[in-house]
Amino acid sequence: GMNGKATDLSKWGNETGIMTTIKNGAKGLAFPMGEMPAGLADDATAKKIAAYVMAEVSTVKKSADATVVAEGKVAFAASCASCHGEDGKGMSGMSPD
């Protein structure tokens, strides 16, 4: 995370946690770009994005559902990359990786 924020990966660093964040948003971290709003993707799309993030962006490099990783990459580009960057590394300190 940035500046000691978003470092509790026991809550976020798995596919279920990513899906929950996509559905419910992220609040209280005070990133310059603001809070992540809820409802950025439906359940099926959130699952695909989570699979992509775990398999390609995270250091884990595997997903519980490898069959949807390619679709998740497309969904990430459409729904997430504008704030988190195409590579998922955040936007120059403006949003978290």
DSSP secondary structure string for all residues of 2-59: -TT-S--HHHHSSHHHHHHHHHH-B-SS--TT-PBPS-SS-HHHHHHHHHHIIIIISS
Q: Is the pLDDT of residue 91 over 60?
A: yes
Q: Is the pLDDT of residue 2 over 70?
A: no
Q: What is the pTM of this model?
A: 0.84
Q: What's the confidence (pLDDT) of residue 31?
A: 83
Q: Is the pLDDT of residue 8 over 90?
A: no
DSSP assigned state of 67: G
Convert the pLDDT of each residue in 9-46 to its tens digit.
556 678 998 999 999 998 877 888 889 999 999 999 99
